[in-house]
Amino acid sequence: MSKPIFVLNGPNLNRLGRREPEVYGYTTLADVEKMCRAAAGDTPLEFRQSNSETQLIEWIHEATDTASGLLFNPAAYTFTSMAIMDALKMFSGPVIELHITNIHRREEMYHHSLMSGVVTAVIAGLGAKGYPTAIGALKEMIAEQEAIPA
């Protein structure tokens, strides 16, 4: 597997560890990146965060052209961005939508993800530990996809 896995993080995730730690925990985004890189091992990894919807869409386009898998925590854009959902539809490899909290145990406004209908899998509620879990799952999905004869 020579193509990278992209890990994209949406708005306010740069504040992990300081933003509502009673909800999101004390793990920082830098800690999450270390966990992802450890889980990826020799697999190349692009780890990015933006508060900008436009930037996230551009990175999804880049991943569509260059990546083998995509792990995406769209944060608040989960519930509002049809543009991001449409960009995700273009990605032909496995995509995992990730949420640190269990969005279904939160307020009603967090219950409907626009992304879930277009991604391969969803991980929610495992805290920051969901990231390395998702990287492992992506590596397996990518290996299975690469093993299918053309």
Catalytic residue list contains 24:
yes
Given 99, 110, 112, 131, the catalytic residue? 99
Of 110, 72, 66, nearest in space to 92 by CA: 66
Given 24, 104, 110, 112, the catalytic residue? 24
Tokens 């990146």 belong to residue: 33
Are 49 and 9 within 8 A, CB to CB?
A: yes
Catalytic residue list contains 111:
no
Report the alpha-carbon distance of residue 15 to residue 68 in Å, rounded: 28
Q: At what angle do helices 82-89 and 53-66 cross, to 10 degrees?
A: 0
Per-residue DSSP letter, 4: P
Helix (H) or strand (E) holding 72: strand 69-73
Hey, which residues are catalytic here? 24, 99
